[in-house]
Structure 1
Amino acid sequence: MSTNEFIVSLSCPDRPGIVHAVSGALLQAGCNITESQQFESPETHNFFMRIAVATEQPIASLRAALEPIEAAFSMTLDISAEGAPLRTLIMCSTEGHALNDLLFAQRAGTLPIEVPVIVSNHLDLKPMADFYGIEFVHIPVTAATKADAEAQLLELVAKHDIDLVVLARYMQILSDDLCRALNGKAINIHHSFLPSFKGAKPYHQAHARGVKLIGATAHYVTADLDEGPIIEQEVIRVDHARTANQFVAMGRNVEGRTLTRAVGWHAERRVMLDGHRTVVFS
C-alpha cells in the first residue's frame, strides 16, 4: 500500500492528557508522527497543536480514530492531505504587485494554492489573469450595488468550492455581513507605518514625515477595518536619500512577500486563531 501524508491541526481548552490522547489515537489508526508542534496560550488557556503523520490508512480512518477525542476535549479539529493545494479566490483592484507575487509563487510550485478565479472591481488586471490562464470576473462596486456585488462574490465562492479568499490590494471595504461569512477564511494585506498614515498616497505621506521604517501586515479580515488577527508582518529600513517613488516600489515588494508568506502558512494549516491573536507554527 502507498503511504499517505496528512496534517492534523487542533485547538481546545487546555487540560492534562490532550497529547497522550491524540498520539494514542493516531497510533491506533496506524500513523507514524513525523512532526509535532504545540502551544498553550497563557492568556486564553487554549491549547494548539499541529501534527504531520504518515500512514497507509485513508483519511476516513484518521477521522474515525480522532472523533471520540475531538468530542471529549471539545476540540476544533482539521485533517487535510499534506501539500494539497487550497482552493483560493483572489480579489484585486488596480495594483497588480501582490496578485503577481501570489500567482508567480503558485506557478513556481512554492505556494500550495489553486486559483480558479480572480475577482476585481476594475478591468486593469485582466491581462495578468489572462497571462496566467485564470478566469477573471469583473464585479463593479458602487454604494448602490455593493450588496449585489457581495452576493455575486459569495456565489462564486460556493460555485468554485473556495476555501480561502485573498484581498491582494482590493480597495473596497467589505460589509460586516461578508466579513462574518468569510470569518477565518479571508486574508488582507496593508501597509504598516510608525506613525500610521491612512488615506490616499500613504507612502508619500510617510516620505514627507521622514519615516525610517516601512512595512506590511497580513491579517485575517474582520469587520474592524485593518484590525483583524495578524498572521505576518515585515519591516524594512529607509532613509532620507530615498524618494517617495522609491518608498512606493519598496513598499510594494514588502507587501507582496508578506502576503505570499501569510497565504502559504494558512494553506499549510500553520495558522490558528486564538481570539484576536494568531498562533503560527513554523
Structure 2
Amino acid sequence: MSHHQYVLTLSCPDRPGIVSAVSTFLAHNGQNIIDAQQFDDAETGRFFMRVVFNAADLAVRLPALQTGFDAIAERFRMTWHMRDRAAQRKVMLLVSKSDHCLVDILYRWRTGELKMIPTAIVSNHPRETYAHLDFGEIPFHYFPVTSKASQEAQVLKLVEETGTDLVVLARYMQILSNDMSARLSGRCINIHHSFLPGFKGAKAYHQAHERGVKLIGATAHYVTSDLDEGPIIDQDVERISHRDTPEALVRKGRDIERRVLARAIRHHLDDRVILNGRKTVVFMD
C-alpha cells in the first residue's frame, strides 16, 4: 500500500447517503481511508467532510479520481476539492513594520512545521526596515502606498505572476479595498490583535486597556470587505490584570498573535478549514 496521501474536502446540503457514497467511491477505486471527519450543521442544513486516504491500488491516479468523483459531487451538489497532500501551496507574506509574525512564520517554514513555498515577502516599508532578518532566497518587494489603487494592483499582479495560492497578512497594517478583498476571497488570512469582535482598528490593546479588560487575545480570519469581520479560523486569549500597562499588553499580545496566525496557516495548508457562510468549519488534528 502506498504511503502517498490525498485529501478530499467537501460541503453540500445534508441528506442521507453522503458518507456511504464517498467511502464506496474510494473503496471501488482502490483507495484506503486513513482519517475521516464530518460535521452536520443543523442550523444551515449543510454537511461538511474531510477525508484523508492513500492508494491500495497504485494504478488509479489522482486525475482519474477527480474525474470520477464529479458524478457524485453533482448528485449531492457538493463544493469539493481533492488534492495530493505532498503538493505544497504557494504563500505570499505581506508585512508592515511589526515583523514578529513574519519571523515566526519563516522559522516554522524553515523547520518544516509549515509545509509551503514562500513566493514573496511584500511590504509597504523598504528592505532596510528588516535589515536584521535573513530572507534567504525569498524575493522581497517594496510597494509603497503612494496610491492605494496602484499599490494593490502591484500586489495582485505579483500574486498572479507567482501563482500564489494563499496571501498572509502578517501584521500588514493596510486595509484592503473591497475589490482586492473580493479577488482574494477565501485565500487571504489576516491576524488581528484583538479577540474579535471586541476591538477593531490599529490600537486594539490600548482600547482594551482603557476598558479594563481581564482577557486579551488575537484572531486569525479570512479577509472580507467587512473590516476585521471575516470568517474566523482560530483565536486564543491570555489572562491579564489591572497591573498590566498598554506596553505589557502589546508584549503579551505578540506571543498570542504568533501562535494564532501559525495555527490558522497550518489549518489552511492542511485543508482543515471549510467556509460555512460567515463562519468556518475547522477539522482539528
Give me the TM-score of the superposition, normalised by structure 1: 0.93
Q: Does 1:127 align with 2:131?
A: yes
Question: What is the rounded CA distance, in whole Å, between the counterparts of 1:59 and 1:128 in structure 2?
Answer: 43
Q: CA deviation at 1:279?
A: 0.2
Task: State the Cα distance separating 1:170 from its structure 2 match.
Answer: 0.7
Counterpart residue number, 1:111: 114
The 8 Å contact of residues 195 and 235 in structure 2, kept in 1 or not, is answered as no
For structure 1, list consecutive stretches of 5 or more residues without a partner in the other structure.
none
Report the TM-score when normalising by structure 2.
0.92
Task: Give the letter for the 1:134 counterpart.
Answer: I
Q: What whole-Å deviation, never above 9, does each CA across 1:162-213 have from its counterpart, x for those lacking one? A: 1100101111111111111011010101122589444554323433443211
Distance 1:66 1:121, change over 3 A: same
C-alpha distance in structure 1 between counterparts of 2:234 and 2:202, whole Å: 24
Q: Aligned partners of 1:128 and 1:39: how far apart in 2?
A: 45
1:280 to 1:104, Cα distance in 2 relative to 1, 3 A:
same
Match of 1:70 among 65, 68, 73: 73
Secondary structure at the aligned position of 1:192 is classed as coil
Aligned to 2:9: 9
In terms of mean alpha carbon deviation, does 77-86 or 27-36 score higher?
A: 77-86
The residue identity in structure 2 corresponding to 1:26 is L
Contact 2:2 2:54 in 1 (8 A): no
Distance 1:200 1:68, change over 3 A: closer
One-letter code of the match for 1:213? L
Pair 1:173–1:200, CA change in 2 (3 A) = closer
Matched residue, 1:147: 149
SS of aligned partner of 2:179: helix
* Aligned match of 2:36: 36
Q: CA deviation at 1:150?
A: 1.2
**Structure 1 residue 24: deviation in Å?**
1.1
Instruction: Give the structure 2 partner of residue 60 of structure 1.
Output: 63
In structure 2, list runs of 5 or more residues that go unmatched: none
Q: Is the 8 A contact 1:203 1:247 kept in 2?
A: yes
**What is the percent sequence identity of the aligned residues?**
50
In structure 2, relative to structure 1, the CA distance for the partners of 1:146 and 1:129 (3 Å cut) is farther
For the residue of structure 2 that corresponds to 1:101, the secondary structure is: helix
Match of 1:50 in 2: 50
